[in-house]
Amino acid sequence: MREGWKKVSLSELGFVGRGKSRHRPRNANFLFGDRYPFIQTADVKAANYKITSFTTMYSEDGLKQSKLWPKNTLCITIAANIADSSILAIEACFPDSVIGFIADDNKSDVRFVKYLFDLLQVRIKQISQGAAQDNLSLEKLETIKFEVPELPTQRKIASILSGYDNLIENNLKRIKLLEEKAQLTYEEWFVKMRFPGYETAKFDKVTGLPEGWKEKNFGELTETMQYGYTESASNEPVGPKFLRITDIVGFNINWENVPYCLISDKEKSKYLLREGDIVVARTGATVGYAKRINKNCPEAVFASYLIRLKLKSEIDDVLMGVYVESKSFLKMVQNMAGGAAQPNANAPVLRQIEMIVPSKDMQLKFRHLVIEPVGCNYFK
């Protein structure tokens, strides 16, 4: 051990406790509203360094059966995505599948503790392995001894590392603004029908669409809809990356955090992702989340709870990518998936979804507008 460092449990560095979400069923409508951010394991996974965005909010009733945690709480996932961690940039609630750590300012720096979890995540996952389902309990977490220096050294290390993370966060914010611009442009052109040249465009009296435009369902716009590969993920680099449902939550895929998959060359060729593919989460709490696979995708295959759409040439993949990554698409799929216990957006469900297909010329104009801004690499 380094001189001046000591081994301590997490509770020796601050307060440790599980989140709360006591009401059953947990998806009761009256629990949700627009007052208190409700952070779930997928939100922690999607965050890089700090949690600034979320998909769900609690109402006053939701807060009553939960707990509001302060800013700078370290959120640590103990189910689904084991030992992912991120720091709250806002006051928020979270369920008992997330552990909260509040640093004692006289003993620890929360940023340093977050980096400890990043460094030791593989070891922590090994401790959490179970016969049926991996789970990291408070009791298991307390068995881990962390090597930590004195507080001034913690702060120095954290300041250096957080400087890089702040740069990454700023770049991600910039990319997110470009994505939001693409979404706004889509709505302006293809929902409000204020596309370039709309003032003089001729509209079909039957369809109500500009001449040359059509409304088609996904079944007509896709060559195939393919379910992913069934295999366990590995943190060891034993094969291609293994894209899962949790990896497509959020506005960008962080390929560094995506695990690997041991797969034969024959099977890999069937499930290998390529630029322009569309992947959609077809089941579970994240049903309906979708992503277009971009040029920066490493060699990767996709897991069984994802469904891949291979598009026909009549629909541009960038146009489709912007559509499936919209909030309106997410809400539509979630409503169609239904299912009291486990919602399911399988191929028959996705085939029914309809979208407006503009003329080829308009699709090309949209593609150029989205891809070509200087520095834009979101859709590349």
**85 Cβ neighbours under 8 A, 6+ residues apart:** 44, 74, 75, 76, 77, 114, 117, 118
Residues 92-145: pLDDT tens digits?
999 998 999 999 999 999 999 999 888 887 667 665 555 444 567 788 888 888
- What is the DSSP pairing of strand 300-302 with strand 241-243? parallel
Residues 171-195: pLDDT tens digits?
777 777 778 889 999 999 999 999 9
Domains, the chain, ordered by start: 6-149 (3.90.220.20), 172-371 (3.90.220.20)
For 22-75, give the secondary structure using H, E and C.
CCCCCCCHHHEEEEEEECCHHHHHHCCCEECCCCEEECHHHHHCCCCECCCCEE
Report the pLDDT value the prediction gives residue 376, as an integer from 0 to 100. Answer: 45
Residue 339 clears pLDDT 70, i.e. is over it: no
Rounded CA gap, 109 and 155, in Å?
A: 6
Rounded CA gap, 135 and 41, in Å?
A: 13
Rounded CA gap, 41 and 244, in Å?
A: 14
Q: Pick from 204, 245, 162: which is nearest to 356 by CA? A: 204
Report the pLDDT value the prediction gives residue 131, as an integer from 0 to 100. Answer: 41
Hey, what are 16's tokens?
């440790």
Report the pLDDT value the prediction gives residue 55, as an integer from 0 to 100. Answer: 81
Residues 232-264: pLDDT tens digits?
888 888 899 999 998 898 777 888 889 999 999
Q: Pick from 339, 229, 366, 240: which is nearest to 285 by CA? A: 339
Rounded CA gap, 322 and 370, in Å?
A: 9
Q: Pick from 216, 244, 214, 215: which is nearest to 229 by CA? A: 244
